[in-house]
Amino acid sequence: MFLSSTSSTALPPLQQSQIRNRLLRLLATQDFERLAPALEPVSLSLRQILIAAHEPIAHAYFIEEGLISVVADTANTAGGRIEIGIVGYEGMTGLPLVLGTDRSPHVSLVQAEGRALAVPAAALHAALDASPALRGVLGRYVQSLIVQVGQTVYANADLTIEARLARWIVMTQDRLGRDELPLTHEFLSLMLGVRRPGVTTATHMLEGGGMIQARRGRITVLDRDKLLEVAGDAYGLAEAEYERLLGEA
């Protein structure tokens, strides 16, 4: 659901230098100025659905703070859903709009509250049509997210639950920028596509190794280097590809 501003007072113009979202900061000045009049600050509340499956996408969201899960419905997991990708301040939701379509079979929902800059679908389409450079930047982000999803497929197929959990903890830490993470067992079960007993066992193993401290609804990272060792080569490729693709842009 799109949350519009509740204030009747006109907001000051957005300044690119004050934006946290990496995609918006990367844009050429003229491309940012094309989007800026249509960007509206919104709050992201826990479990809020930004994009519903199979429904027209009304807005894209450039994340400033928080964590968004891209979730697939499946009959093969305990809860019927499994996370296939995550988005933080490095990216955006609503990528089908960039690719020329208006909906997705996947759900995008808020897993850690925060804030974003929302842009109506029509305004984003108009800016993309006016600027090949803007389309190029956002297209490169699409490619980076495809690589992330591919790494998730690899992790789910070949890694232990402990390694998959270590990978997602580090990825979440990257996007939230802090050591204390709001990761409930319910979310971890969704994230890994396993039942809660498996999540509990994996959490205890990482905690016993001194890598994390788990409390109700919270996980605190104690030793990132050890988590990276456990995650192995499932972590790093997608992150390096993001830097390469956006660096070239």
User: CA-to-CA distance for 136 and 149, rounded, in angstroms?
Assistant: 20
Amino acid (one-letter) located at 102 = D
Q: Which residue has the higher pLDDT, 191 or 82?
A: 82
In the chain, the percentage of residues whose pLDDT exceeds 70 is 93
Give me the domains of the chain, ranges plus CATH numbers.
16-131 (2.60.120.10), 157-239 (1.10.10.10)
The amino acid occupying position 182 is P
pLDDT over 70 (residue 6): no
Per-residue pLDDT at 176 exceeds 80: yes
Q: What's the pLDDT score for residue 140?
A: 97
Mean residue pLDDT of the chain comes to 90
> pLDDT tens, 195-228?
888 888 999 999 999 999 998 889 999 999 999 9
Task: Supply the pLDDT for residue 158.
Answer: 87
Burial class (CB in 10 A: 0-12, 13-18, 19+), 143: middle
Q: What is the pLDDT of residues 85-135, one digit of tens each?
A: 999 999 999 999 999 999 999 999 999 999 999 999 999 999 999 999 999
Residue 64 CA to residue 42 CA, distance in Å, equals: 10
Residue 10 reports pLDDT greater than 50: yes
On whether the CB atoms of residues 139 and 100 are closer than 8 A, the answer is no
pTM value is: 0.90
Give CA–CA dist 50/69, Å, rounded.
10
Does 37 score more than 50 pLDDT?
yes
